[in-house]
Amino acid sequence: MEWEFRIMGQNASYTHRKFGKWMLLVSMSLVFLLAMIACDTASKSVESTEKVFKDATGAMRGESESDKPDTRDKPDTSDKPDIFVESIEVSQAIQNSANSVVLVSDRSTVVRVRVGVDGGGSATGIDGVLQVFVDGVQITTAVGVAPINSGFTAPEAGLWDRDNEDHTLNFEISAPTGITPTTDADFIVALTPLPGEPDTTNNSGSTVNLTVVESLTPKLYFTRINYTPAGAGLPDLSDIQAGVGNVFVDGIYPIDDSDPIRYQVGIFPSLTWGADPNGNSQIDSGNNEHSDILDWLESCRQLIVDVEGNGDRIFLYGWIKGNPIPSNGWAPVGGRVAFGNTQQTRHQRTYAHELGHNFGLSHNNRDLAPDTGWDTSARLEDNPIGNNTNGRVKPSTLNDIMVGGLLTNQAWIDQTSYEYFLGHDVLDSGGTGSSDRSDRRDKRFQQRVVAVSGVLDFEGTKLVRLNPVFRYPWLSQASINDPQGRYTVQVETQAGNVFESTFSGELGDDAETSPQSFGFFSVRLAVPAEEEIARVSIISLTDRRELGRLERSRPPRIRILYPDDGAQLTGEVTVKFDVEDSDTPKERIRVHIAYSNDNGVQWVPVAVNVPALVSAVTFDSKQVQASEKGSGVIRVIASDGLNTVFDDVSKLTVGGKYVSNQQKRDTFVKER
């Protein structure tokens, strides 16, 4: 048995299992009819009293009601508007007219309803209610969701414009929405009958059987960089803190935009960068200044270890005050680090743009047409005031996020980029996503993953440097192999096994026009922990030319000289260490220093890329999380090329009163 009926010019077909939803539509319409009747009770009572009086008078005269012509006034509804649901659009950033862009579970959602008026005219004072069902179960409250623009005016049919947010009745559901993964998400809207509306049976409409998928949340960390050549100091937290710096990212990336891990300050010392080879107080690309900063950020990122380990979903972004960056920002394409400006008219979009490069995208020249976007809850509107961004709707004339050099109010995301992110390996939960990249790497966490990094020249023809390779003792994840990459890392072990990973080598800026350029790269390979490395090579795939290599030497030795095990540390903390190596000069040995407040489970960087010639490093213990008595650990890690060694001091008490990670993060933001 099957019912077929037409609503707002759209066919809907329901089998037996949909009968409950059909009945809900009918019952919701009846509720509104009863409400309309209730509103007319007073006037009808007057009419009833008048009728009784007339009947009594006629009876005394010997007349019956049927003997008289009906002279009572009847309500004239010929000029009353008849409204109906013409179409429903469900969007979480961008959507097409067919509602075929897949939804993400628990992500903030807007339901836009085009309200039609019989005869093509306009109508005012329109209201309604939204109900949402997942697999036949209602997930909205009994009273439903009210529109954000109650009292809406439906425009004349000929004037309707999808790019105008005031031309639709709009319902918003904030994250977490409670909408779980399914192929059966139903959105049902009932319009409140207008006074005197001639036909209320067409006031309900729905869009049904929409697909919702799970999306993993990237772990987006940020830090502040004091670029001393510009003399501006650290960026203001008010420009970059959660709820400001990340709102463009929240608006366009297909993730649960309520998950706290999606954007958080790194609980480690802010960074200071003083190099400026040509003395122009700008971060240039011609002399690899941009690559040096990216190299530095990646070393920090590799020391960010949470309870899972150092995963490929960990990203690190560096904010620089003002805009001493001629091209606004930089990121390795397919990498996990980036940096950008804090210029209020553009910095939120620059962050989202550079993150797009991290996800593997290059520049394009597309706009949103024929689709329209939506910023749920108007995250960006006057936030901050200097971003010059207003409203929720993102018209089809805006450019896609990967068009370079734009201001915040000039861009959003198109369907192609949105679906690319949705299918990306980093966000794909492995079940319902559309990723075709799941076979590009071993996703398992393992110890001693091989971390290779270096710098190519601007044209990508030469290897400027190949950094010492690190194999960290904690759990890490390999990076994504790029089958379109122009270069490959080749790792040969002493057992004779060879492991390879291909990478792009391309850098992405945020300039309006810029040539393709190359520079810093970072690749992580899953090599069995028990196998030692004999050789690492960088090979150009265009001509199979080896650009550079590192070969095994005798390993160095390292000792921490200060502090001692069990020390209590406050204020400025100096870590002293000594590195000895019989066949590698100390200036070629790279040292990182990491800190753990929980006996080595989680780690953060306190110093990176330190040459072994420098035997002491000082950091501010107020900028790391305090440790409970005896739970702090400092680890100094050194690599001479292919050999990684480390030394620990433990049982440390660092800082003042211990607080939880989230408490520290909240107070840390305020203090900084």
User: H/E/C letters for each residue in 41-88?
Assistant: HHHHHHHHHHHHHHHHHHHHCCCCHHHCCCCCCCCCCCCCCCEEEEEE
Identify any residues that bridge with 373 across adjacent strands, giving them in sequence order.
Answer: 94, 394
Domains 3-39+80-213 and 219-422 belong to one CATH topology: no
- The closest of 86, 91, 97, 123 to 205, measured between CA atoms, is 86
Which of 3.30.300, 3.40.390, 1.10.287, 1.10.760 would CATH assign to domain 219-422?
Answer: 3.40.390
Asked if the 557-671 domain carries CATH number 2.60.40.10, the reply is: yes
Q: How many residues does the chain have?
A: 672
Tens-digit pLDDT profile for residues 367-426: 999 999 999 999 999 999 999 999 999 999 999 999 999 999 999 999 999 999 999 999
Whether omega for the bond prior to residue 324 falls within 30 degrees of 0, making it cis, is no
Q: Tell me if 380 sits within 8 A of 348, measured CB to CB.
A: yes
Mean pLDDT confidence for 327-340: 98
pLDDT the model gives residue 378: 97
**C-alpha distance from residue 641 to each of 508, 535, 610 (Å):** 28, 10, 14
Confidence of residue 170 (pLDDT cuts 50, 70, 90): very high
Percent of the chain whose predicted confidence (pLDDT) is above 90: 81
Superfamily of domain 3-39+80-213: Macroglobulin (MG2) domain (2.60.40.1930)
What does the DSSP 8-state code read for residue 33? Answer: H
Contacts of 215 (CB under 8 A, 6+ apart): 104, 105, 107, 254, 255, 256, 422, 427, 428, 429, 433
Q: Which sequence spans correspond to the domains of the chain?
A: 3-39+80-213, 219-422, 446-551, 557-671
Identify any residues that bridge with 4 across adjacent strands, giving them in sequence order.
Answer: 13
Q: Which stretch of 105-109, 297-301, 467-471, 667-671 has the lowest confidence by average pLDDT?
A: 667-671
- Cα gap 527→491, rounded to integer Å: 8
Tens-digit pLDDT profile for residues 538-595: 999 999 999 999 999 999 999 999 999 999 999 999 999 999 999 999 999 999 999 9
DSSP alpha helices (H): ranges in 147-197?
none
pLDDT the model gives residue 418: 98
What does the DSSP 8-state code read for residue 131? Answer: E
